[in-house]
Amino acid sequence: QKEVEQNSGPLSVPEGAIASLNCTYSDRGSQSFFWYRQYSGKSPELIMSIYSNGDKEDGRFTAQLNKASQYVSLLIRDSQPSDSATYLCAVIYSSASKIIFGSGTRLSIRP
Amino acid sequence: NAGVTQTPKFQVLKTGQSMTLQCAQDMNHNSMYWYRQDPGMGLRLIYYSASEGTTDKGEVPNGYNVSRLNKREFSLRLESAAPSQTSVYFCASSPGTGIAFEKLFFGSGTQLSVL
């Protein structure tokens, strides 16, 4: 079992709608969770971090964490064509400093 | 600020050749990482260095070696390249301490092809 799991997509969402991206992780002791966005041919960039159960909002982005279910999600409201990218979930493992990524979900916003 | 600088940007090797990917950061970060990215596979951790003088294996270390030369530089060496090592390689660094200690800053990547 991969340590961080994501649906690879592609996820197609109409412009203006809410895009919902999901991630599960296997290490119950993990405390730090991240969402990175990667445009084609570019490096990943951090868009959200979350450490506590519940929701964290930043502009059009909301990260949600449920440690009991080992589940983290990213919601993108009012989706724009510029949101079309691959979204990578990342987790810091409790036993070490290593940061592990999921395989990424490719998101496509259709006009 | 240059941030994280990787060299080279592109490289073609023949099977069995060796090479070293160079990475340097100018942000005084403690932690540095090497990832590889294959289509549909996300980023997979090869090796990381939590602080100067330490290195640890990640998810896919076989076929690679690393050196944390000093606080700024973290190199990745392929001793005998194989076609399975064809990938895009990313170096990253993070502060390792303080607020947002674990935020990763990425280099621009190295496209490596092994024929």
Span A10-54, pLDDT tens digits: 999 999 999 999 999 998 888 889 999 999 999 999 999 999 999
What pLDDT, on the 0 to 100 scale, is given for residue A7? 87
- Spatial neighbors of A57 by CB under 8 A, at least 6 apart, are none
At CB < 8 Å, which residues of chain A contact B?
3, 6, 8, 32, 34, 36, 43-46, 49, 88, 90, 92, 96-104
The answer to whether B48 and B104 have CB atoms below 8 angstroms apart is: no
Chain A residues with beta carbon closer than 8 angstroms to that of B109? 43
- Arithmetic mean of pLDDT, A86-102: 85
pLDDT exceeds 80 at position A2? no
- CA A56, CA B27: separation in Å to the nearest integer? 28
State which amino acid sits at residue B14: K
Q: Which of B29, B49, B89, B102 to mutate to probe the A interface, most A CBs <10 Å?
A: B102
- For the cut 60, the answer to whether the pLDDT of residue A108 exceeds it is yes
Q: Is the predicted pLDDT of residue A1 greater than 70, yes or no?
A: no
Say yes or no to pLDDT of B99 above 70: no
pLDDT one-digit tens code per residue, B32-51: 999 999 987 789 999 999 88
Residue A37's DSSP bridge partners are: A45, A87
Torsion of CA A27, B109, B111, B38, to 10 degrees: 20
Q: Residue B4 carries which side chain, given as an amino acid letter?
A: V
List chain A residues with CB under 8 Å of B3: none
| pLDDT score of A8 more than 90 | no
Q: Enumerate residues 6+ apart whose C-beta is below 8 A from A103.
A: A2, A5, A6, A8, B40, B41, B42
